[in-house]
Amino acid sequence: MHHGVLVIDVREACRPNRTGKAQWTHGFVSELLRRKIPVTLFTDADIPSEWLKTACGVIRIPGKGLRWHWNVLQWLRNHSGVTYVSPVSTIVPAFVPRSVRCIPVIHDLIAFMDEPHDRKAKLIERLTLPRAVRRAHHLCTISESTKRDLLRRYPRVPRERVTPVFAGSMHMHPEKPHPDAKTILCVATLCPRKNQLRLIKAFTSLPEDLRNSHQLILAGGRGWDDDEIVCKAKNTAGVQWRGYIDAAAYESLLNSCHIFALPSLYEGFGMQILDALQRGIPVLTSNRGSLKELAEGAALIVDPEDVASIVQGLETLLTDDGLRKHLSQKAIQRSAVYSWRRTVDLFLGTLASPC
Protein backbone atom coordinates (compact mmCIF):
# COMPACT_ATOMS: atom_id res chain seq x y z
CA MET A 1 0.00 0.00 0.00
CA HIS A 2 1.76 3.15 -1.19
CA HIS A 3 0.40 6.23 0.48
CA GLY A 4 3.61 8.10 1.27
CA VAL A 5 3.99 9.49 4.75
CA LEU A 6 0.78 9.53 6.80
CA VAL A 7 0.49 12.91 8.56
CA ILE A 8 -2.28 13.47 11.13
CA ASP A 9 -3.51 16.58 12.96
CA VAL A 10 -3.73 15.38 16.59
CA ARG A 11 -4.11 18.74 18.39
CA GLU A 12 -7.51 17.97 19.88
CA ALA A 13 -6.33 14.61 21.26
CA CYS A 14 -3.62 16.52 23.17
CA ARG A 15 -6.12 18.60 25.15
CA PRO A 16 -6.60 17.77 28.85
CA ASN A 17 -10.42 17.74 28.57
CA ARG A 18 -11.18 15.56 25.55
CA THR A 19 -14.73 15.45 24.19
CA GLY A 20 -16.28 13.99 20.98
CA LYS A 21 -13.90 14.69 18.08
CA ALA A 22 -10.89 14.71 20.40
CA GLN A 23 -11.84 11.29 21.81
CA TRP A 24 -12.29 9.97 18.27
CA THR A 25 -8.83 11.23 17.25
CA HIS A 26 -7.26 9.72 20.37
CA GLY A 27 -8.83 6.29 19.80
CA PHE A 28 -8.02 6.27 16.06
CA VAL A 29 -4.38 7.33 16.44
CA SER A 30 -3.83 4.98 19.40
CA GLU A 31 -4.87 2.03 17.21
CA LEU A 32 -2.58 3.16 14.34
CA LEU A 33 0.33 3.38 16.78
CA ARG A 34 -0.54 0.04 18.40
CA ARG A 35 -0.18 -1.54 14.95
CA LYS A 36 3.12 0.25 14.38
CA ILE A 37 1.79 1.98 11.25
CA PRO A 38 4.25 4.77 10.37
CA VAL A 39 2.66 8.15 11.12
CA THR A 40 3.79 11.72 11.70
CA LEU A 41 1.76 13.61 14.29
CA PHE A 42 1.13 17.35 13.96
CA THR A 43 0.42 19.02 17.27
CA ASP A 44 0.56 22.34 19.12
CA ALA A 45 1.04 20.78 22.58
CA ASP A 46 2.63 17.75 24.27
CA ILE A 47 1.24 14.46 22.97
CA PRO A 48 -0.54 12.05 25.35
CA SER A 49 2.00 10.17 27.49
CA GLU A 50 0.78 6.76 26.27
CA TRP A 51 1.88 7.67 22.73
CA LEU A 52 5.45 8.64 23.63
CA LYS A 53 6.97 5.17 23.17
CA THR A 54 5.16 4.37 19.93
CA ALA A 55 4.85 7.66 18.01
CA CYS A 56 6.94 7.51 14.83
CA GLY A 57 7.36 11.24 14.37
CA VAL A 58 6.03 14.26 16.20
CA ILE A 59 6.17 17.74 14.68
CA ARG A 60 5.16 20.65 16.87
CA ILE A 61 3.70 23.25 14.53
CA PRO A 62 3.90 26.75 16.02
CA GLY A 63 1.02 29.20 16.18
CA LYS A 64 -2.57 29.28 17.40
CA GLY A 65 -5.85 29.48 15.51
CA LEU A 66 -5.57 30.34 11.80
CA ARG A 67 -1.79 30.86 12.15
CA TRP A 68 -1.41 27.17 13.03
CA HIS A 69 -3.35 26.11 9.93
CA TRP A 70 -1.29 28.49 7.77
CA ASN A 71 1.94 26.96 9.09
CA VAL A 72 0.65 23.45 8.35
CA LEU A 73 -0.13 24.51 4.77
CA GLN A 74 3.43 25.84 4.38
CA TRP A 75 4.82 22.52 5.64
CA LEU A 76 2.62 20.56 3.22
CA ARG A 77 3.68 22.75 0.29
CA ASN A 78 7.26 21.68 1.00
CA HIS A 79 6.47 17.98 1.39
CA SER A 80 4.60 16.77 -1.67
CA GLY A 81 3.47 13.16 -1.82
CA VAL A 82 2.31 12.87 1.80
CA THR A 83 -1.20 11.85 2.89
CA TYR A 84 -2.71 14.39 5.29
CA VAL A 85 -5.49 13.19 7.61
CA SER A 86 -7.63 15.90 9.22
CA PRO A 87 -9.91 14.41 11.91
CA VAL A 88 -11.34 17.65 13.34
CA SER A 89 -11.04 20.57 10.95
CA THR A 90 -11.79 21.39 7.30
CA ILE A 91 -9.56 24.50 7.13
CA VAL A 92 -6.35 22.84 5.88
CA PRO A 93 -8.28 20.38 3.62
CA ALA A 94 -9.95 23.39 1.92
CA PHE A 95 -6.60 24.88 0.85
CA VAL A 96 -4.28 21.88 0.72
CA PRO A 97 -1.88 21.76 -2.27
CA ARG A 98 -2.87 19.36 -5.07
CA SER A 99 0.39 17.47 -4.52
CA VAL A 100 -0.92 16.26 -1.12
CA ARG A 101 -3.48 13.47 -0.75
CA CYS A 102 -5.92 14.76 1.83
CA ILE A 103 -8.47 12.70 3.78
CA PRO A 104 -10.81 14.78 5.97
CA VAL A 105 -12.89 12.95 8.58
CA ILE A 106 -16.41 14.39 8.60
CA HIS A 107 -18.15 13.85 11.93
CA ASP A 108 -21.44 15.61 11.20
CA LEU A 109 -23.09 18.37 9.17
CA ILE A 110 -24.40 20.31 12.15
CA ALA A 111 -23.08 23.57 10.69
CA PHE A 112 -25.57 23.26 7.81
CA MET A 113 -28.60 22.45 9.94
CA ASP A 114 -31.11 24.49 11.88
CA GLU A 115 -30.05 22.97 15.21
CA PRO A 116 -28.32 25.47 17.53
CA HIS A 117 -24.56 25.43 17.13
CA ASP A 118 -21.50 27.51 18.00
CA ARG A 119 -21.57 30.50 15.61
CA LYS A 120 -17.85 30.68 14.87
CA ALA A 121 -17.58 26.92 14.21
CA LYS A 122 -20.66 27.08 11.96
CA LEU A 123 -19.22 29.96 9.90
CA ILE A 124 -15.80 28.32 9.44
CA GLU A 125 -17.30 25.01 8.39
CA ARG A 126 -19.75 26.57 5.96
CA LEU A 127 -16.88 28.45 4.31
CA THR A 128 -14.41 25.57 4.16
CA LEU A 129 -16.31 22.28 3.82
CA PRO A 130 -17.41 22.77 0.16
CA ARG A 131 -13.77 23.33 -0.91
CA ALA A 132 -12.52 20.51 1.31
CA VAL A 133 -15.01 18.09 -0.28
CA ARG A 134 -13.88 19.07 -3.79
CA ARG A 135 -10.16 18.76 -3.03
CA ALA A 136 -10.22 15.59 -0.94
CA HIS A 137 -8.60 12.41 -2.22
CA HIS A 138 -11.18 10.53 -0.17
CA LEU A 139 -13.73 11.43 2.53
CA CYS A 140 -14.29 9.48 5.73
CA THR A 141 -17.42 9.85 7.85
CA ILE A 142 -18.05 8.38 11.28
CA SER A 143 -21.49 6.96 10.48
CA GLU A 144 -23.74 5.96 7.58
CA SER A 145 -26.01 8.78 8.74
CA THR A 146 -23.26 11.39 8.21
CA LYS A 147 -22.43 9.88 4.81
CA ARG A 148 -26.10 10.30 3.80
CA ASP A 149 -26.12 13.91 5.06
CA LEU A 150 -22.91 14.66 3.16
CA LEU A 151 -24.13 13.17 -0.14
CA ARG A 152 -27.47 14.94 0.23
CA ARG A 153 -25.61 18.23 0.55
CA TYR A 154 -23.05 17.44 -2.19
CA PRO A 155 -24.89 15.11 -4.60
CA ARG A 156 -22.13 15.35 -7.23
CA VAL A 157 -19.64 13.55 -4.97
CA PRO A 158 -19.37 9.89 -6.08
CA ARG A 159 -20.65 7.56 -3.32
CA GLU A 160 -17.49 5.44 -3.55
CA ARG A 161 -15.37 8.45 -2.51
CA VAL A 162 -17.06 8.48 0.91
CA THR A 163 -16.36 5.74 3.46
CA PRO A 164 -17.96 5.46 6.90
CA VAL A 165 -15.22 4.35 9.34
CA PHE A 166 -17.29 4.59 12.57
CA ALA A 167 -15.55 4.55 15.97
CA GLY A 168 -14.61 2.28 18.86
CA SER A 169 -15.03 2.45 22.61
CA MET A 170 -12.53 4.37 24.70
CA HIS A 171 -12.35 1.46 27.14
CA MET A 172 -11.28 -1.96 25.87
CA HIS A 173 -12.10 -3.91 29.05
CA PRO A 174 -14.65 -2.02 31.12
CA GLU A 175 -15.54 -3.11 34.63
CA LYS A 176 -18.77 -4.99 35.17
CA PRO A 177 -21.45 -2.39 36.02
CA HIS A 178 -23.16 -2.32 39.41
CA PRO A 179 -26.39 -0.34 38.80
CA ASP A 180 -27.53 1.71 41.77
CA ALA A 181 -31.25 1.40 40.80
CA LYS A 182 -31.70 5.18 41.01
CA THR A 183 -29.43 7.19 38.64
CA ILE A 184 -30.43 8.42 35.19
CA LEU A 185 -27.14 9.55 33.66
CA CYS A 186 -26.59 11.96 30.77
CA VAL A 187 -23.02 12.78 29.71
CA ALA A 188 -22.67 15.49 27.08
CA THR A 189 -21.43 19.07 26.65
CA LEU A 190 -24.17 21.45 27.80
CA CYS A 191 -25.86 22.98 24.75
CA PRO A 192 -29.32 23.05 23.15
CA ARG A 193 -28.43 20.32 20.62
CA LYS A 194 -27.75 17.79 23.38
CA ASN A 195 -31.29 18.49 24.64
CA GLN A 196 -30.59 18.51 28.39
CA LEU A 197 -33.35 21.07 28.97
CA ARG A 198 -36.10 18.75 27.69
CA LEU A 199 -34.54 15.85 29.61
CA ILE A 200 -34.75 17.87 32.85
CA LYS A 201 -38.38 18.82 32.05
CA ALA A 202 -39.17 15.15 31.36
CA PHE A 203 -37.61 14.10 34.67
CA THR A 204 -39.72 16.65 36.57
CA SER A 205 -42.83 15.32 34.75
CA LEU A 206 -42.32 11.72 35.92
CA PRO A 207 -44.88 10.29 38.36
CA GLU A 208 -44.09 11.46 41.88
CA ASP A 209 -42.94 8.07 43.19
CA LEU A 210 -40.42 7.66 40.34
CA ARG A 211 -39.21 11.24 40.66
CA ASN A 212 -38.64 10.83 44.40
CA SER A 213 -36.83 7.50 44.07
CA HIS A 214 -34.51 8.48 41.20
CA GLN A 215 -32.00 11.21 40.36
CA LEU A 216 -30.87 12.75 37.09
CA ILE A 217 -27.13 13.37 36.89
CA LEU A 218 -25.85 15.59 34.07
CA ALA A 219 -22.12 15.55 33.40
CA GLY A 220 -20.36 17.67 30.79
CA GLY A 221 -18.54 20.94 30.38
CA ARG A 222 -20.23 24.18 29.42
CA GLY A 223 -20.90 24.64 25.72
CA TRP A 224 -22.98 27.43 24.18
CA ASP A 225 -26.46 28.89 24.83
CA ASP A 226 -26.40 26.87 28.04
CA ASP A 227 -27.33 29.43 30.76
CA GLU A 228 -30.91 28.13 31.01
CA ILE A 229 -29.70 24.51 31.22
CA VAL A 230 -27.29 25.36 34.06
CA CYS A 231 -29.96 27.36 35.90
CA LYS A 232 -32.56 24.59 35.54
CA ALA A 233 -30.11 21.87 36.63
CA LYS A 234 -29.08 23.82 39.73
CA ASN A 235 -32.63 24.67 40.75
CA THR A 236 -34.50 21.43 40.07
CA ALA A 237 -34.96 18.92 42.88
CA GLY A 238 -33.37 15.55 42.08
CA VAL A 239 -31.11 16.97 39.34
CA GLN A 240 -27.34 17.42 39.65
CA TRP A 241 -24.89 18.94 37.19
CA ARG A 242 -21.34 17.69 37.75
CA GLY A 243 -19.54 19.79 35.12
CA TYR A 244 -16.77 18.26 33.02
CA ILE A 245 -15.67 14.93 34.51
CA ASP A 246 -12.37 13.11 34.00
CA ALA A 247 -12.08 9.54 32.69
CA ALA A 248 -12.13 7.96 36.16
CA ALA A 249 -15.28 9.84 37.23
CA TYR A 250 -16.94 9.03 33.88
CA GLU A 251 -16.16 5.35 34.32
CA SER A 252 -17.49 5.40 37.89
CA LEU A 253 -20.75 7.11 36.91
CA LEU A 254 -21.29 4.80 33.92
CA ASN A 255 -20.72 1.68 36.00
CA SER A 256 -23.17 2.73 38.71
CA CYS A 257 -26.01 4.32 36.72
CA HIS A 258 -29.39 2.64 36.32
CA ILE A 259 -30.06 3.93 32.81
CA PHE A 260 -28.22 6.19 30.34
CA ALA A 261 -30.16 8.93 28.55
CA LEU A 262 -29.07 11.04 25.58
CA PRO A 263 -32.13 12.30 23.66
CA SER A 264 -29.95 14.51 21.45
CA LEU A 265 -31.35 16.49 18.50
CA TYR A 266 -28.46 15.39 16.27
CA GLU A 267 -25.22 13.42 16.56
CA GLY A 268 -22.65 12.34 14.00
CA PHE A 269 -21.99 9.19 16.03
CA GLY A 270 -22.53 9.23 19.82
CA MET A 271 -19.49 7.71 21.52
CA GLN A 272 -20.96 7.86 25.02
CA ILE A 273 -23.91 5.79 23.78
CA LEU A 274 -21.41 3.16 22.58
CA ASP A 275 -19.70 3.20 25.98
CA ALA A 276 -23.06 2.57 27.66
CA LEU A 277 -24.03 -0.21 25.22
CA GLN A 278 -20.69 -1.91 25.76
CA ARG A 279 -21.47 -2.18 29.47
CA GLY A 280 -25.00 -3.45 28.92
CA ILE A 281 -26.56 -0.30 30.38
CA PRO A 282 -30.17 0.28 29.25
CA VAL A 283 -30.15 3.33 26.97
CA LEU A 284 -32.75 5.95 26.06
CA THR A 285 -31.85 7.94 22.95
CA SER A 286 -33.42 9.73 20.02
CA ASN A 287 -34.44 8.92 16.47
CA ARG A 288 -32.15 11.63 15.05
CA GLY A 289 -28.83 11.60 13.21
CA SER A 290 -26.75 8.50 13.80
CA LEU A 291 -28.18 7.55 17.19
CA LYS A 292 -30.83 5.11 15.97
CA GLU A 293 -28.27 3.62 13.57
CA LEU A 294 -25.71 3.20 16.36
CA ALA A 295 -28.13 1.60 18.81
CA GLU A 296 -30.08 -0.46 16.22
CA GLY A 297 -32.61 -2.28 18.36
CA ALA A 298 -30.52 -2.08 21.54
CA ALA A 299 -32.02 1.12 22.99
CA LEU A 300 -35.38 2.71 23.67
CA ILE A 301 -35.94 5.40 21.00
CA VAL A 302 -37.89 8.63 21.66
CA ASP A 303 -38.83 11.80 19.79
CA PRO A 304 -36.33 14.32 21.23
CA GLU A 305 -38.54 17.35 20.55
CA ASP A 306 -41.52 15.88 22.39
CA VAL A 307 -41.12 16.06 26.18
CA ALA A 308 -44.07 13.66 26.59
CA SER A 309 -42.23 11.07 24.47
CA ILE A 310 -39.12 11.40 26.68
CA VAL A 311 -41.28 11.11 29.84
CA GLN A 312 -42.91 7.97 28.48
CA GLY A 313 -39.52 6.50 27.55
CA LEU A 314 -38.01 7.21 30.97
CA GLU A 315 -41.04 5.82 32.79
CA THR A 316 -41.00 2.63 30.69
CA LEU A 317 -37.28 2.05 31.22
CA LEU A 318 -37.48 2.72 34.96
CA THR A 319 -40.44 0.43 35.60
CA ASP A 320 -40.07 -2.44 33.10
CA ASP A 321 -37.45 -4.87 34.49
CA GLY A 322 -37.92 -7.27 31.58
CA LEU A 323 -37.26 -4.54 28.99
CA ARG A 324 -34.13 -3.36 30.82
CA LYS A 325 -32.79 -6.92 30.89
CA HIS A 326 -33.59 -7.42 27.18
CA LEU A 327 -31.95 -4.12 26.16
CA SER A 328 -28.92 -4.90 28.33
CA GLN A 329 -28.31 -8.16 26.44
CA LYS A 330 -28.92 -6.56 23.04
CA ALA A 331 -26.62 -3.65 23.96
CA ILE A 332 -23.58 -5.87 24.57
CA GLN A 333 -24.17 -7.69 21.27
CA ARG A 334 -24.59 -4.43 19.37
CA SER A 335 -21.50 -2.78 20.85
CA ALA A 336 -19.31 -5.68 19.67
CA VAL A 337 -19.82 -4.45 16.08
CA TYR A 338 -17.74 -1.34 16.83
CA SER A 339 -13.99 -1.32 17.49
CA TRP A 340 -10.97 0.85 16.71
CA ARG A 341 -9.51 -2.15 14.85
CA ARG A 342 -12.48 -2.08 12.47
CA THR A 343 -12.23 1.74 12.13
CA VAL A 344 -8.54 1.60 11.20
CA ASP A 345 -9.11 -1.33 8.80
CA LEU A 346 -11.79 0.71 7.00
CA PHE A 347 -9.54 3.79 6.97
CA LEU A 348 -6.57 1.87 5.56
CA GLY A 349 -8.84 0.63 2.79
CA THR A 350 -9.39 4.24 1.68
CA LEU A 351 -5.63 4.70 1.17
CA ALA A 352 -5.69 2.09 -1.56
CA SER A 353 -8.56 3.80 -3.39
CA PRO A 354 -7.71 5.49 -6.71
CA CYS A 355 -7.74 9.31 -6.93
Quote the mean pLDDT of the chain: 93
Q: Return the pLDDT at 58.
A: 94
**Per-residue pLDDT band at 115 (split at 50, 70, 90):** low
Average pLDDT over residues 147-170: 96
Residue-wise pLDDT for 80-103, tens only, equals 889 999 999 999 999 999 899 999
Nearest 10 degrees: CA dihedral of 39, 44, 48, 52? 50
**Per-residue pLDDT band at 3 (split at 50, 70, 90):** low
Whether the predicted pLDDT of 2 surpasses 50? no
Q: How far apart are CA 144 and CA 126, in angstroms?
A: 21
Pick 16 or 301 by higher pLDDT.
Answer: 301
Range list for CATH 3.40.50.2000 in the chain: 6-168+339-351, 183-335
Topology of the domain comprising 6-168+339-351: Rossmann fold (3.40.50)
Pick 14 or 174 by higher pLDDT.
Answer: 14
Q: Return the pLDDT at 172.
A: 65
Phi-psi region of 42 (alpha: psi -120 to 50; beta: other; left: phi over 0): beta
Residue-wise pLDDT for 35-72, tens only, equals 999 999 999 999 999 898 876 799 999 999 999 999 99
**Per-residue pLDDT band at 345 (split at 50, 70, 90):** very high
Q: What does the chain come to in residues? A: 355
Amino acid at 169: S
Q: What is the pTM of this model?
A: 0.92
Whether the predicted pLDDT of 1 surpasses 60? no
Residue-wise pLDDT for 331-341, tens only, equals 999 999 999 99
Average pLDDT over residues 163-179: 87
Contacts 24+ apart (CB under 8 A), 241-247: 241/190, 242/217, 242/218, 243/219, 244/17, 244/219, 244/220, 245/187, 245/219, 245/220, 247/170
Least confident of 18-22, 46-50, 225-229, 290-294: 18-22
Q: 320 near 334, Cβ under 8 Å?
A: no
Kindly give the residue spans of alpha helices, DSSP state H, lying in the chain.
20-34, 66-77, 91-95, 119-135, 144-153, 196-204, 208-213, 227-234, 247-256, 271-278, 291-295, 307-319, 321-335, 340-351
- For every residue of 199-226, DSSP letters joined together read HHHHHHTS-HHHHHH-EEEEE--B-SS-
Topology of the domain comprising 183-335: Rossmann fold (3.40.50)
Q: 6 near 38, Cβ under 8 Å?
A: yes
Q: Return the pLDDT at 181.
A: 96
